[in-house]
């Protein structure tokens, strides 16, 4: 018995040029997402009292939002291009 905390990020796209790339950043406590950043929304959304509190704090900080919004280019598209070229080179 105890507490369960996890965090995961995910990049989702369906186009070859990555123009529809979405970056999702989830924070989970006891298997429930309590706060999420979604690049299509462009800010944090809280799903519990703690999540709402932190979302309000994070959304007021332009540095945090800028870093999260930049993840589409820096993390998602960068890695997707590497994966796509590795797969294309093998076929």
Q: Is the pLDDT of residue 87 over 70?
A: yes
- As a whole number, the mean pLDDT across the chain is 91
Domain count, the chain: 1
- CATH code of the domain containing 54: 3.10.320.10
pLDDT in the model for residue 90: 67
Range of the domain at 43: 5-88
Percentage of the chain modeled with pLDDT above 70 = 96
**What pLDDT score was predicted for residue 88?**
73
Nearest alpha-carbon partner for 44 in 55, 53, 57? 55
CB 39 within 8 Å of CB 30: no
User: For residue 22, what pLDDT is reported?
Assistant: 96
- Residues 6-48: pLDDT tens digits? 999 999 998 888 889 999 999 999 989 999 999 999 999 999 9
């Amino acid at each position: 018995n105890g507490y369960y905390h996890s965090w995961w990020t995910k990049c989702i796209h369906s186009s070859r040029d990555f123009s529809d790339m979405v970056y999702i950043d989830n924070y989970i406590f006891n298997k429930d997402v309590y706060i999420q950043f979604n690049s299509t929304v462009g800010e944090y959304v809280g799903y519990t009292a703690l999540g709402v509190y932190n979302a309000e704090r994070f959304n007021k900080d332009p540095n945090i939002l800028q870093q999260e919004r930049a993840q589409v280019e820096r993390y998602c598209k960068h890695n997707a291009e590497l994966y796509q070229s590795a797969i294309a080179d093998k076929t």
